[in-house]
Amino acid sequence: MKRKLTSRFIRYAKINTRSKHDETGCPSTTVQFDLAHMLVDELKSLGITELSVDEHCYVVGKMASNLPEDHIAYGKTPVIGFLAHLDTAPDMSGENVRPQVIEKYDGKDIVIGFDESKKEKIIIKLDENPELGKCVGHTVITTDGTTLLGADDKAGITAIVTALEHIKNEQDFLHGDIYFCFNPDEEIGRGTACFPLEKFPVDFAYTIDGGSAGELNKETFNADSAKITVYGRDIHPGTAKDIMINANRVASYIIEQLPRDLSPEKTSGHEGFIHPTEMNASTGEACLKMILRDFEEKGLQANKVILEEIVSRAKKEFPGCSIDLEIQHSYRNMLLKLDQNPQVLKRLEDAVKKAQVDYQWLPIRGGTDGAELTRRGIPTPNIFTGGQNFHGKTEWLSIDVLMKTTEIIKHLVRV
């Protein structure tokens, strides 16, 4: 299994599937079809024929039940689904990814490349990566320091495909109907925008899109996005006295007014934040984009009030400027609905125990497609993959942990 997982993941990682913000199409980038079509061909070669990729780049398939006609003796068998996303984050290049394989990791810092611009080595430091210290003896895959790796979420795809292959080939492996979906655009918050629910008739599902070994997730942030547009007044600086309103200064003032204790770099666990992610500005107009996060709905509403108050202060500080604040819904915490479906969580706990993995239920300080699917009626908690440092050039993946993920998938569906 380790050999299969390693070679399969490397093949997937080398395909550029980077999604893109501010694109209205679904998918946001056509390159995601490259991996989608590869997966369809590969799964068909493994003997899984009930699958397709639609015009929105959703790969949906089914492995039909192999239970005997008298299967009623086994009790009611649930229909289970698995999901992982095709795209990689827009934050960093996903083109010309060159994975580096370290066999039997020795527990030391890993030098993965050299930064010519800074004239320094690119290092995955053990003191910044506590999970790496738990992977001594593992097969570890890193980047070469020039791109992200794409373990988020090609590791999840790898685990699902490999599990399906094993289930298909193992004699006497009894299972009910198994559905799977590989979807686009999760990284830009639109992974379920065009989700074909009619092709995914499951009782419940699991996203394979997590991090550390044993980390299980049943709660996510409540999430919104904010867009602040500042309209200043541009004029030649030589004659600007008492006339110019510099949108750059107004936007900078707004950012400076954000509470620093409500930033990602100052929060952890169940603490929320307001995070400015992008700024495009000139003297005449500036646009700020932010994400708002909190595990409680009331905390998210409080973040909105903070922004409204800052905008109000900015208007008073810079008379004559116009400022628009637009808040958009992103996703909501899935905890309540998952707690209402304890059998889904219990089944996962039992599968993890069978794989001999110590587990923890931890909050996701991010989002998964499972949050939106849970809202739509498909309870969908999340399972670890063994990847770390997602979206950056020091991203890494433990194949040994991914083996455990693959085993858990098999235990989840075995009758």
Separation CA 134–CA 121 (nearest Å): 23
Helix, strand, coil share of the chain (percent; to 5): 35, 25, 40
**DSSP letter string, 276-319:** EEEEEE-SSEEEEEEEEEESSHHHHHHHHHHHHHHHHHHHHHST
Q: Give the active site residue among 87, 152, 219, 369.
A: 87
Q: Give the active site residue among 153, 186, 219, 369.
A: 186
| Strands 110-115 and 222-231, sheet pairing | unpaired
Q: What amino acid is encoded at 364 in this protein?
A: I
- Report how far apart the first and last C-alpha atoms of the chain are (Å, whole number): 21
Separation CA 341–CA 285 (nearest Å): 49
Helix axes 399-413, 342-354, angle to 10 degrees: 130
- Annotation marks residue 186 as catalytic: yes
Separation CA 217–CA 207 (nearest Å): 10
Beta strands of 306-391 (E only): which ranges? 322-331, 360-361, 382-383, 387-388
**DSSP letter string, 238-266:** GG-TTT-B-HHHHHHHHHHHS-GGGSGGG
Contact 233, 248 (CB under 8 A): no
| Strands 120-124 and 222-231, sheet pairing | unpaired
Tokens at residue 259, please? 């509470």
Least Cα distance to 369 among 155, 213, 182 occurs for 182
Q: Radius of gyration over alpha carbons of the chain, in Å? A: 23
Helix axes 151-169, 32-45, angle to 10 degrees: 10
Separation CA 301–CA 296 (nearest Å): 9
Residues with catalytic roles: 87, 186
